Structure 1
Amino acid sequence: MRLLAVLLLCCSSAMPAIARTTQSERAAQDKKPDPQKKICKRQQVTGSYFTTRECHTKAEWDQMAEDARAASVRQRSAIRSSFGGN
């Protein structure tokens, strides 16, 4: 009986903390990033120990990622076709 009381006490004290966490997570999910906000990233330059800083909007970063993905797909399909694969 004493163990049950201790378990109930522990669980009931942890519930408000769990509720606060989920409320803050919901608030973070509700905020959508501003597509015009500049995002700066450090890029490693091939053949150099130095990094460069590139700043673009989220939309521009997304477009560059999509372009890189599409170029990779085109390159892979070109290699497959040159070897007679499907």
Structure 2
Amino acid sequence: MNRFLAICLLVVSAVLAGCATHPSPELRPYTAEESKQLALEALSRRGLSFDEYQQQRAALTGQPQKAFGFDQQAEMNAQQSAHHGGRAS
């Protein structure tokens, strides 16, 4: 019985010693670029509307928000009707 107890104690102490000396990964702070990249990745997963996404992305990147919309050539006045081939467009 004493031999069994000694072996068990030896095994338990070896296991505990192995767990205590296990090297943990070095914890280093994120760089500013890594933090910005993580924030942009989290923003892209949030499922925001396009306008909300662009606003928050501009705030994160520090860039002025671009105005998105139709240019003058792509706008169509509803009061004017253009006839092409007999059809109104």
TM-score (structure 1 length as normaliser): 0.41
Q: Larger helix proportion, structure 1 or 2?
A: 1
Structure with more relative contact order (C-alpha pairs < 8 Å, separation 6 or more): 1
TM-score (structure 2 length as normaliser): 0.40
